[in-house]
Structure formats: C-alpha cells, structure tokens
Chain A
Amino acid sequence: MSASANSGVGPVRRFSGRSKRVLPGFGLSLGISLFFVSLVLLLPLSGLVVETSGMGWDQFWFTITDSRVVESYKVTLWTALAASVFNGFFGLLLAWILVRYEFPGKRIVDAFVDLPFALPTAVAGITLATLFAQNGWYGQWLAKLGVEVAFTPLGIVVAMAFTSIPFVVRTVQPVLEELSPADEEAAVSLGASDGRVFRKVIFPSLWPALVTGVALSFTRSLGEFGAIIFIAGNTPYVSEVTSLMVFIRLQEYDYAAASAIASVVLLASLVLLFAINLWQGRYLRRLEGR
C-alpha cells in the first residue's frame, strides 16, 4: 500500500487549542445562527424591554389594567381555551381516524389538515366571516337555530379553532402511530371492554402528546390576529382580543401603551412556550427511557 499518512502533501490542518471538532463548519454555522438569532430575534425583543422599562411602573400598571384591556384579556383567554378544548377533541378524533382506519379520500383529508397552516390568516378571516355571516352558507342555518357566530365572541372561537387545529392533529398522530398493537390485543383478549382499554392502555400513553398539542393550539390562539378581526366584530368590552388592543394602540400612535400590553401577552406566550418545551423534554425522556 502506498500513499503516506501525513507526509505533508496538500494543506495539513493542525488544531490549535483544545476544541477539536471533527465535522467541518462549526464556526461558520454557529456564527450564522447566532448572528441571525441576535439580529432577528433578540435585538427586537430587547427593544420592547427598553420601551416598557422607560415608562414607569404606575403608567405601565395603569395601561395594562385599563378596563377595556382587561376585558380583552378575558375574552382572549376564554375563547382560546374554548378553541383549544374543541381542538383537543376533534384533533384527537381526526388523528385517530387518520392512523387507525382506511377509507377513501384518507390522503386528501390528511393533506387538508395542514390547510390552516398554509392558508394566509387574512384569507381564513374573510372566508370564515363570509361563511358565518347572516346570509352566509353556515350563517343562515345557524340563524334559524338562533345561534349567532359572526361579530360575536363565538366567531373568535371559530377563527382560533380553525387556525390552530393542525397543532393537535400533528402532535398526536405520530404517538398514535407508535402505539404497540400488542398491548391492546393483550388487553382486548383478556376481555376488557373497548372503553376500558382506551382509558387504561391507550390514553395513558397518549395524553402527554395531547396536552402538548392543546397547549400549542392555545398559545397560537392567544396571539391570533388576522383570522379573528374579520369575524369578531371587534366590539369594545365584548369581542376585542388582546392582539387587536395592541394594534389599536399602535394606530393611535401610543407606542408605550402598545408595548405595555404587548409585553403582557409576550410574557404569557414565552412562559407557555418554555413550559411546553420542558414538558415535552420530560415526557419524551420518560417514553424513551433516557
């Protein structure tokens, strides 16, 4: 065998220092990532901190506890909650039929689940508003039942549920796929009823993913804007969401107030995000036995 190990043909890379990375591109890729994260994410976030810290506690408190704003928190919270609970049920149902059953059009339904992610929120907004309007395809039937959706908080729930249902389906689906048929077969062969097997065997392995999906759906709903404003009617104290409050303050050129309200929403979302990440990390560790 010829050729030499290190007789010095071509550039010979020698390490300096202790860190010896085998794969190339550590400096470059991390450099790009950090530069980007700092410039695109962290710098603007710090701008918000600067703006709010400049306004003084009293004024800050006054702004975020203004009664119209407080009403908007309430509306946002309960509609987001309602929407994510709805999505918990129907997201699970959709995931279940997509994993467990074969039926014509399954691939199409599977593809359509992602529609809310792909469809611009403004388009979703005007579409839902049109559907649920008094003379719309859904609105006219609902009106006969005495249910009003468009221009009421119920419209907010509809918009939120629409935009965030994929979160539940896409988090639950892979877990359902991984469930071992043997556990269920064992339970069924021992004579357990389906309901019992679902509660005792399936649900325990499913619920961490379901909670994650519902929490993601909730977080997304808290911040939703585009789809909501067209259908909500935006009546002060009744159907204004907090994102809209921020937007209104911005239109009034009251940047300080907008920042104060935004910082409340942002804090809530970030806490939720970190909680979800921690939670996911923990249950994944448990499932993988790490």
Chain B
Amino acid sequence: MDTGHRRVGDQPWVRRTLIGIALLVAMFMLVIPVVVIFAEAFSAGWSTFAGNVTDEYTVHAIGLTLFVAALTVPLNLVFGTALAWSVTRFRFPGRKLLITLIDIPFAVSPVIAGLLYLLLYGRNGWLGGWLASHDVQLMFSWPGIVMVTVFVTCPFVARELIPLMQQQGSEEEEAGVVLGASGWRIFRKITLPNIKWALIYGVVLTNARAVGEFGAVSVVSGNVRGETNTLPLHVELLYQDYNVVGAFASASLLAAIAMLTLVVKAFVEWRQSRPIVSTPEKEVS
C-alpha cells in the first residue's frame, strides 16, 4: 500500500518542484521589488536618505498625505460599518444592488475616478461652477484629494465586514434585543467585539490605499509642490526629475506602511483563526 501518496501532488518530487517554482516566482515578483526599494533609497548612504526624507517638500507631502488619510479613514469607517450593518442585518428591496454598487470603485480606473470628480466639481463642472461663484474651490486643492481618496477607498471596510457579519448571523444581536438592550449597547457590547479584527484590517487597508493613491489624486491635485503634492505624487515628481534616490527615499516610507499593513493582516488572521479560548467540546450534536 502506497501510504505516502493519498492526495494529488503528495509525491516528494512533485511537491519540491511546485514549491520551487512558486517560491522563485514569489521571490522575483514580490520579495525582490521590496528589497530594491530600500536598497535604492539607501544607495547613497544614510545621511542622504535622512536629507531626502527631511527635505521641505517631502515633509510637506508626508503631512498632506497623513492629513488626507486622517480624514478619509474615519469617513469610510462609519460608512463601511453602516453599510455592512444594513445589508447583513436587514432584508430590503435593492439590497443586492447596494452590495454590487459598493464594488464600483474596485472596477473603476483611478484616472477615471479622478475625472468623475473633476467633471462634477471642476471650474466648468456641473456643481463646480456654482461652487466657484461662491468662492469655493474643491478641485486642485486638498478637498478634492480627500474626495477622490474617499471614492477609491470606500469599499474596503464594507468588503471586510460583510462576509464576516453574514456568516456570524444576527442571533446574538436578537438575543440582545430580547434582553432589552438599546441599539448602541448591542452594537458596542455584542457586534463590535465580534467584528473587531475585520474592522481593524479594513481600516488598515483603507489607510494603505488612502496613503498610496496615485492615479485619481494626480488628476485632481494639480501637483503644486509644497501645496497639493501627496507623497506618491512627490515620488513621481522626483523620479521625473531624475532624482531616483530621492524618489526611492519617499517610496520607502510608503513601502514601510505597506509592510506594516501586511504585518497587521497576518496578525489579524492569526487572531481570527484562533478561537477565543480552546474548546473542550465533548458532546456531539
């Protein structure tokens, strides 16, 4: 009896070959690029790196980027949670459509996302003209950047929460209602602990994308150095100026955020896969 071979691909040579190829691809596609970012950033030494990162325009770009993320993340957190609650806890006509609509930003090219906002709120735009006559300019300034970033990142929190909340069902919340708890108390005491980790991951993803959005932002920002330049736009400007080391110095900051995101995700998955405590389930159901 060939006991070592029970499932497809269990033979050692198949396993080694597949793992070998896959690791090679992963290495070239995913790992080395990250190494390159940091290698280039530090290629002219520590002090150059420090100089690049503390450059006046870079610092401003970092500040603007963080500011945009700080506005975008809470907005999408509220929206994503509200949407997930409404579509997983209630049945209403148009529910499925709403779930599909929320995916639109995934399918829309970032450049087109920027264009959509430009058309509507730009000086010649539909609402933009009226706003301009009241001396409000949204495009080519920070509000526009925030608006497109909100558009691009709005699915993340909802996408993380919906499958989880669907799977958990609403029995615990119903039990809470029967016991007389208020809506806020139910959310805080019952729902929130159950979705905490997915929520954190949704926030981290939203943040990563908000910090790194390029296409949409470049359409509506106007790229004024020291004014409307976010960090990814700054990377582009430096790169176009043939300041490759400077570009990678800024890029390495963004890459660090990306790596942090991956770490948080790994941690969240580890938390979720682990039961709250080990289960001594003896009875069979």
Contacts and interface: CB of A to CB of B under 8 A. Distances in A.
Nearest to A263: B112
A250 B115 contact: yes
B40 A130 contact: yes
Contact of A225 (B98, B111, B254): B111
Interface stretch (B50-58, B117-125, B192-200, B275-283): B117-125
A246 B111 contact: yes
B145 interface: no
B242 to A, nearest CB: 12
B208 A118 contact: yes
A43 interface: yes
Contacts of A126: 235-236, 239, 244, 247-248, 251
Nearest to B244: A130
A47 B126 contact: yes
A23 interface: yes
A273 B107 contact: yes
Interface in A207-254: 219-220, 222-226, 230, 243-244, 246-247, 250
Contacts of B164: none
A41 interface: yes
A23 B173 contact: yes
B71 interface: no
B62 interface: no
Interface in A109-137: 109-124, 126-128, 130-131, 137
A147 interface: no
Interface in B79-102: 79, 82-83, 85-87, 89-90, 92, 98, 100-102
Interface string B23-57: 10110111111101100100000000000000000
B211 interface: yes
Contacts of B136: none
A275 B34 CA distance: 35
A255 B119 contact: yes
B70 interface: no
Contacts of A273: 100, 103-104, 106-107
Contacts of B105: 41
Contacts of A41: 101-102, 104-105, 151, 154
17 contacts: A22-B177, A33-B87, A37-B83, A41-B101, A113-B26, A115-B258, A117-B208, A127-B36, A130-B248, A137-B36, A138-B28, A185-B7, A255-B119, A255-B124, A258-B115, A262-B115, A273-B106
Given A112-B26, A262-B112, 17 more contacts: A23-B177, A24-B186, A25-B86, A29-B89, A33-B86, A36-B154, A44-B113, A48-B119, A93-B25, A96-B9, A118-B258, A127-B251, A188-B6, A188-B8, A198-B8, A225-B110, A246-B115
Q: Which 5 A-B pairs have the closest CB atoms?
A: A120-B212, A223-B109, A24-B183, A47-B120, A44-B116
